[in-house]
Amino acid sequence: MSKTLQAIRGMNDILPEQTPTWRYLENTLANLLKGYGYQEIRLPVLEFTELFARGIGEGTDVVDKEMYTFLDRNNESLTLRPEGTAGCVRAVLEHGLTGGGQVQKLWYAGPMYRYEKPQKGRYRQFHQIGIEVFNLPGPDIDAELIVLTARLWRALGLADAVTLQLNSLGSSEARATYRDALVAYLQQRFDQLDEDSQRRLTTNPLRILDSKNAQTQALLADAPTLHDYLDDESRVHFEGLKARLDTLGIDYVINPKLVRGLDYYGRTVFEWVTDKLGSQGTVCAGGRYDGLISQFGGKPTPGVGFAMGVERLVLLLETLDLVPQSLSEPADVFFCAFGEAAELAALRLSEQLRDALPGIRVLVNAGAGSFKSQFKKADKSGARFALILGDDELAGRVVGCKPLRADGEQQSIAWDALAAHLATSLELA
Ligand code: HAM
């Protein structure tokens, strides 16, 4: 028995009624990024598995449990990218884009893949728009990344729906010392930890800080905090970032337990979070990763970036009813033609209109049909005018132009005056 074909669980079709919202979001951000001097980079969806294992880190959930990994026909282990940073770092190194201290301010967009349990706001194929900046070590660029996301929220009407959480993870030495202190503290309370946290105590102890388990969180209340272990340089960097956000009036909440799920971060980390989407409320997240490039064999090169989840932002816009009405644009005119000769004339005239009035939206009836059925289609299309071509119009080299959205008589317009007439009636610039 043949089974109905279905999409893979957690991999969504984005249907025509949703794509205008996606494009609105993508275009708004792309325009904004142009204004800050960012350039687009396009990266492969597949990379060697080793890139993610080394970049994101063994012991992280993403690498240990969530990667789509397979052997290709040449027995090479490949992985569908679970995120964009590792591939972007690989690309800039491979093409020498960061050599000699060159600054790069890059953005990318596209699908990412993680084998997570699907639920609202969490999918196995999801889309990110991300930014990565190289060779700028100071807090000024960390601030710029946050400032431009704040500008995006304002442009989309989301400013009141999201809050900024901020933390500093310090230098790798500071983190190592803190990790030892945290492990020593939790080791003494090992039996009271949840099972996941017991496992993480050896694999990735800092991740215990964002455990969802209430008893573990209670234990953590008196645990040493990362801030007590921050090195001086990281402290100064963090103060510099906060001063810039304060100057611009961007509110933030310091969350000492914000550690992020990927291993490459040091110093600044941040997340924009909403309480309107249930448990998957992080819409944008990122931080600094100054150690990642040297880990891949490059010269030490500062890096910082973030990625936003497109599905979550679209959900948020829909939930808050913030999708602009004007996004779905109906046609301007709908050509109805009766008979073979009229169909040919309609075809020629519609192409002439597209030449004369770039941007005009012209629908031409396809599949013939009676006057009644073509008129019904014209009405349903949402077009402002029906253009009518029958035998009489053909003979007189005119078209009938009937307003569909307002009162008014049908007018007879000569073929060579049609473009000028429509330019005025449709108020096309
Ligand atoms: P991330 O926190 O793993 O960071 O993902 C960034 C964002 O992608 C999340 O905040 C969320 O909005 C979205 N996202 C993640 N997983 C899913 C999922 N399964 N379904 C739907 N949306 C999801 C990164 O990926 C880093 N590469 C960000 C970065 C760039 N850091 C520095 N540069």
pLDDT reported for residue 203: 86
Q: Is the CB of 285 under 6 A from ligand 1?
A: yes
B/e letters for 39-72, b = 16+ CB within 10 Å, e = fewer, are eebebeeebebebbbbbbbeebbbbeebbeeeee
Residue 83 CA, closest ligand 1 atom number: 25
**Hey, what CATH topology would domain 19-170+230-319 get?**
BirA Bifunctional Protein; domain 2 (3.30.930)
Residue 285 CA, closest ligand 1 atom number: 10
pTM of the model: 0.93
Q: Please name the residue whose Cα sits nearest to atom 6 of ligand 1.
A: 307
pLDDT reported for residue 298: 87
Q: Which amino acid, residue 337?
A: A
CA of 285 to the centre of ligand 1 (A): 6
Which backbone phi and psi does 158 adopt, to 5 degrees? -100, 0
CA of 426 to the centre of ligand 1 (A): 44
CA of 113 to the centre of ligand 1 (A): 10
pLDDT reported for residue 59: 83
Residue 121 CA, closest ligand 1 atom number: 21
Q: Is the CB of 142 under 6 A from ligand 1?
A: no
Q: Is the CB of 66 under 6 A from ligand 1?
A: no
Residue ranges per structural domain of the chain: 19-170+230-319, 329-425
Nearest in space to 269 (alpha carbons), one of 241, 248, 228, 229: 241
Q: What is the 3-state secondary structure (H, E, C) of the chain?
A: CCCCCCCCCCECCCCCCCHHHHHHHHHHHHHHHHHCCCEECCCCCEEEHHHHHHHCCCCCHHHHHCCEEEECCCCCEEEECCCCHHHHHHHHHHCCCCHHHCCEEEEEEEEEECCCCCECCECCEEEEEEEEEECCCCHHHHHHHHHHHHHHHHHHCCHHHCEEEEEECCCHHHHHHHHHHHHHHHHCCHHHCCHHHHHHHHHCHHHHHHCCCHHHHHHHCCCCCHHHHCCHHHHHHHHHHHHHHHHCCCCCEECCCCCCCCCCCCCEEEEEECCCCCCCCEEEEEEECCCHHHHCCCCCCCEEEEEEEHHHHHHHHHHCCCCCHHHCCCCCEEEEECCHHHHHHHHHHHHHHHHHCCCCCEEECCCCCCHHHHHHHHHHCCCCEEEEECHHHHHHCEEEEEECCCCCCCEEEEHHHHHHHHHHHCCCC
What is the mean pLDDT for each group of 10 consecutive residues in the chain (429 residues)? Answer: 87 95 97 97 98 91 94 98 98 96 97 97 98 98 98 98 97 93 94 92 89 91 92 97 97 93 93 95 97 91 98 97 88 95 96 96 92 93 95 96 93 96 88
Q: Please name the residue whose Cα sits nearest to atom 20 of ligand 1.
A: 122
pLDDT reported for residue 330: 87
Q: Is the CB of 345 under 6 A from ligand 1?
A: no
Q: Which of 65, 67, 128 to mutate to test the pocket of ligand 1 (most atoms within 8 A of CB)?
A: 128
* Side-chain-side CA neighbours of residue 4 (13 Å): 2
Q: CA torsion angle for 255, 313, 116, 191 (degrees, to 10)? A: 20
Q: Is the CB of 277 under 6 A from ligand 1?
A: no
d(CA 23, CA 106): 20
pLDDT reported for residue 1: 59
Judge: domain 329-425, CATH 3.40.50.800. Answer: yes
CA of 175 to the centre of ligand 1 (A): 23
Q: 90 near 47, Cβ under 8 Å?
A: yes
